Structure 1
Amino acid sequence: MKAIVLDFETTDATEDAQATEIGIMDVIFKDGLFAKADGHGARPFKCKPDRPISFGAMAVTNIFNEDVADCESHKELCARAMPKGAAYIIGHNIDFDIRVAANAGVDVSQYKAICTLAIVRNLYPDADSHTLGAMSCMLDYEYARANIKNAHGAAADVKMCARLLYIICKQQGITSMDQLYEFSEFARIPTHFPFGKHKGVAIAELATNHDGRGYLQWVVNSIKDNEYLTTACRKALGA
Structure 2
Amino acid sequence: MTTPAMIIDFEATDVSKEAEATQLGWRNVSFDDQGDLVAEVVYYRDDNQQSNVRFCKPDRAISYGAMAVSHIMPSDVEHALSHKLVVPQYLPVGEAYIIGHNIDYDIQVAANASVDVSQYKRICTQALARRLLPELDSHSLGALTYAINPDLARQYCRNAHNAGWDVTFTLWLLEHLCELGDITSMEQLYLASEEARIPKIMPIGNDHRGKLIADMAKDPKDRGFLQWVVKTIKDKPYLVEACRQALITSINPNVSGMERQS
- 3-state SS, counterpart of residue 129 of structure 1: coil
Q: Is 1:35 aligned with 2:38?
A: yes
Q: Mapping of 1:69-80 within 5 angstroms? A: 69-80=78-89
Aligned residue number for residue 81 of structure 1: 90
Q: Mapping of 1:1-239 within 5 angstroms? A: 1-30=3-32, 31-37=34-40, 42-197=51-206, 198-238=208-248
- 3-state SS, counterpart of residue 203 of structure 2: coil
Identity of paired residues, percent?
49
> What stretches of structure 1 of length at least 5 have no aligned partner?
none
Aligned CA RMSD, in angstroms, stands at 1.2
Native 8 Å contact 2:35 2:185 kept in 1: yes
* 1:43 CA displacement: 0.6
Greater mean alpha carbon deviation, residues 223-232 or residues 53-62: 223-232
- 3-state SS, counterpart of residue 196 of structure 1: coil
Native 8 Å contact 1:119 1:183 kept in 2: yes
Aligned counterparts of 1:88 and 1:67: Cα–Cα separation in 2: 30
Native 8 Å contact 1:140 1:164 kept in 2: no
Q: Runs ≥4 in structure 1, deviation > 6 angstroms? A: none
- 3-state SS, counterpart of residue 131 of structure 2: helix
Matching residue's letter, 1:147: Y
* 1:121 CA displacement: 1.0
> What stretches of structure 2 of length at least 5 have no aligned partner?
44-49, 249-256, 258-262
Aligned counterparts of 1:46 and 1:35: Cα–Cα separation in 2: 26
Native 8 Å contact 2:132 2:177 kept in 1: no
Aligned positions, number: 239
* 1:225 CA displacement: 2.0
* 1:38 CA displacement: 5.1
Aligned counterparts of 2:213 and 2:42: Cα–Cα separation in 1: 45
* 1:39 CA displacement: 5.5
* 1:139 CA displacement: 1.0
* 1:132 CA displacement: 0.4
